[in-house]
Amino acid sequence: DINIEPDLSNAGPFLAAALVLGGSVKVKNWPLTTTQVGKHFVEILTQMGANFERDGDDLVITGTGIIKGIDIDLSIGGELAPVIIALAVLADGPSRITGIAHLRGHETDRLAALTTEINKIGGKATELEDGIAIEPSSELHSGTWNTYEDHRMATAGAIIGLRVPGITIEDISVVSKTMPEFVSLWNDLLGTNF
């Protein structure tokens, strides 16, 4: 028998949900050592206010609902950026996420897309040469979050929608690229019908 590591990058939105809602999420079989970039979620989300603990082979994240802003160079793993940026929109302080200029060449120009979608719902995002700066906003409101045929855009919008009522994800089916079961797992986690 061999334990297959979970996809740690795809675990990001679920870890973020604990931080946003002030609850706990357990990810089964989180590896003690790994080459996956998603391992950095532990240190990054701790800086943003999460607590982590091991439960045997599993990792448990607990949040309080309070999210701290962060100033971070994410050149270690740009695929983590949409989750961190979504959390930064909901943070109580400013954030600056840099080192991610290469996100312009993914399924879409993620820096432009994230900035556009954040500002469209009342956020305060500024696109930088190699990242995004985000200021806290008390004016976040409902709206359609466009996905640009990009799975990470869809999950970023879903994270923000945990705190901002009425966020509608334009095309949630794009998550099928890396996690076809995202919607059912999200519904199970939240006890809702997304």
Is 149 labeled as catalytic in the residue annotation?
Answer: no
What residues form DSSP beta bridges with 98? 73
Q: How many angstroms from the chain centroid is the CA of residue 23?
A: 16
Distance CA 86, CA 123 (A): 10
Closest CA to 183 of 161, 123, 116: 161
Supply φ then ψ for residue 25, to 5 degrees: -135, 135
40 CB burial (10 A radius; 0-12, 13-18, 19+): middle
Find the catalytic residue in 5, 43, 53, 79.
79
What secondary structure letter does DSSP report for 191? T
Is 150 within 8 Å of 113 (Cβ atoms)?
A: yes
Residues with active-site annotation = 79
